[in-house]
A and B are shown apart, each in its own frame.
Chain A
């Protein structure tokens, strides 16, 4: 489990600069893109495909896919991860982790298409594929975060008469937060990126621009789609970092 995503030490001014620079870059690129859309030397087809109404609609679909999948991943993988660190379930945790590893190792596009044949070509097939694909980092980091809490702290909490539930809520989870959050951020970025593939099963999203760009040989449309996906991913990543920065318990470094 060497490839566990460790939280980067968010310390001092360096971290602060990172947190400020990232959104600034995102806004700059977005502004440049909008100006290019307005003033750029685009063909009529390109202009028609890249009209603001459609762009907003695609982005909306993309975000909807992302949020629904993320919500399901968080609601499922975190409690599951917690459960698997409880004593009665420790034995099966290896099996579940292996399954999750398998899910992530499968190529996303294959997963999307396979699920579509099974569940039909729809929004929900895409969501299921994204959830299967992105559950691993959250699950794994939840487990690793909790397992990484010093054994002696848990013992001293029990020794003070805390119930095992309150040890979980007041000691284990708060101390696992940095590791868990970094897994969550990774999952969100994975989902934003992979949601691009939803277009192959008719679930829309910014991937549509890319497929259109390829099919009709409109490289500018293709690049616009890729750029917007990248910007969204950067934005989500930034939000994750901000949350990590503020949710890290005081007293931890």
Chain B
């Protein structure tokens, strides 16, 4: 991926989105579904829209790419007023991901991803390269997946292709409507980690609708909490929403265990990892065991030639071995540096190991995270109160126009 990551990172700059006093009134309904919302989505950030069912999240999102035409108000993308430009043209500049990916079942993975580039008239060669590059970006081996049909993919894989497809023409904006709503919790956690990793690379302006407050805390740079009619109850960083909920409505929405939810804010890379004795396949088990004993550890981490973890045998398992085998153990608890502490804790609990192996982006081993470290982090973050400064907070209100520095309103 690194060889052509310059294109993956994108040539187009991400753009700020501004909804200015936007209202949607569906015909035949007494109250507007979205009531005069003014909302600024900062460039290159992930903004999460959360709120109870029917509060207008989807309507707000779809007005950004004008799948739903606003009844009133203006929408600005970067410095351009897009309220009245051609909707189809606008949508080609915005990635759109929905639940289960919305992949076309009669087209291969490659054809699905190629749709927007084709509409934009890219050359065959360029499209082909782009497809492979994107498949790699979402961790799907191009040679293996490019010619498959969607029904030959798991739900999580379909979702990845959905994300790849949305990124195909390198749009500055990505709109996602509960994209991970239909996958199981473990796959969802993985897809979330993946999205964060991709975002590090591509730096898009992402608007993300979710029901799941934990997801909002985990992914969001900013969270908008809506009540009915898309009224903004609070627009703040995850930290501040957890620590200083603006009203009882937000408190209820956060639900129980706000303290534990703090774990979602801290990442594995933020805590100190323990070192571990390592070995490689083919070594004499005895030698490895000796090193483990010397270090006073309980386990040794067996790594392949790329330093990717293969297995994690205990002293007892080592003593029964002759040489170290090269067989990978699928059951070892693995987390990445980008995983949240909450996910790390889950992984440990599932594998009942009391610790987990940590890998970096290239899946090479970097250290071991233990339950004790996680517990310490809980205590610390309980004490620490959020210190986010208000200066760079994006604007978010309802009804009435706002003044933005250098804005076009």
A251, closest chain B residue (CB): B149
Output the least CB separation between B331 and chain A (Å): 33
Contact residues in B for A38 (Cβ distance below 8 Å): none
- Chain B 73-116 per-residue mask, 1 if CB under 8 angstroms from chain A, else 0: 00000000000000011111100101111101111100000011
Contact residues in A for B100 (Cβ distance below 8 Å): 152
Q: In residues 306-352 of chain B, which contact A (Cβ within 8 Å)?
A: none
CA of A250 to CA of B92 in the docked complex: distance in angstroms?
Answer: 27
- Chain B 221-236 per-residue mask, 1 if CB under 8 angstroms from chain A, else 0: 0000000000000000
Most buried by A among B105, B108, B119, B151: B105
CA of A41 to CA of B108 in the docked complex: distance in angstroms?
Answer: 61
* Choice from B65, B89, B149 contacting A159 with Cβ under 8 Å: B65
Is A157 part of the contact surface with B, judged by Cβ < 8 Å? yes
Output the least CB separation between B25 and chain A (Å): 19
A249, closest chain B residue (CB): B106
Is A161 part of the contact surface with B, judged by Cβ < 8 Å? yes
- Chain B 175-187 per-residue mask, 1 if CB under 8 angstroms from chain A, else 0: 1000000000000
- Chain A 155-180 per-residue mask, 1 if CB under 8 angstroms from chain B, else 0: 11111111100000001001100000
Q: In residues 108-152 of chain B, which contact A (Cβ within 8 Å)?
A: 108, 115-116, 119, 149-151
CA of A152 to CA of B97 in the docked complex: distance in angstroms?
Answer: 11
A158-B67 CB under 8 A given contacts A251-B105, A252-B106:
yes
B148, closest chain A residue (CB): A251
CA of A171 to CA of B115 in the docked complex: distance in angstroms?
Answer: 11
Output the least CB separation between B175 and chain A (Å): 8
CA of A160 to CA of B98 in the docked complex: distance in angstroms?
Answer: 11
Is A87 part of the contact surface with B, judged by Cβ < 8 Å? no
A174 & B88 in contact (Cβ 8 Å cutoff): no
A155-B98 CB under 8 A given contacts A160-B115, A171-B104, A249-B106:
yes
Contact residues in B for A17 (Cβ distance below 8 Å): none
Contact residues in A for B104 (Cβ distance below 8 Å): 153, 157, 171, 175
* Choice from A152, A156, A158, A161 contacting B89 with Cβ under 8 Å: A161
- Chain A 138-162 per-residue mask, 1 if CB under 8 angstroms from chain B, else 0: 0000000000000011011111111
Contact residues in B for A153 (Cβ distance below 8 Å): 102, 104-105
A152-B116 CB under 8 A given contacts A161-B91, A161-B92, A163-B88:
no
CA of A249 to CA of B111 in the docked complex: distance in angstroms?
Answer: 14
B107 & A160 in contact (Cβ 8 Å cutoff): no
CA of A249 to CA of B150 in the docked complex: distance in angstroms?
Answer: 13
A161 & B106 in contact (Cβ 8 Å cutoff): no
Contact residues in A for B101 (Cβ distance below 8 Å): 156
Nearest 6 A/B pairs, CB to CB: A156-B102, A251-B149, A159-B96, A161-B92, A161-B91, A249-B106
B: which residues have CB within 8 A of A? Answer: 65, 67, 88-93, 96, 98-102, 104-108, 115-116, 119, 149-151, 165, 175
Contact sample, A vs B, 20 pairs, CB 8 Å cutoff:
A152-B100, A153-B102, A153-B104, A155-B98, A155-B102, A157-B104, A158-B67, A159-B102, A159-B175, A161-B89, A161-B90, A161-B92, A161-B116, A161-B119, A162-B88, A249-B105, A250-B149, A251-B107, A251-B108, A252-B105
Q: A156-B102, A171-B104, A251-B106 are in contact. List 5 more A-B contacts (CB 8 A).
A: A159-B96, A160-B92, A161-B92, A250-B106, A251-B151
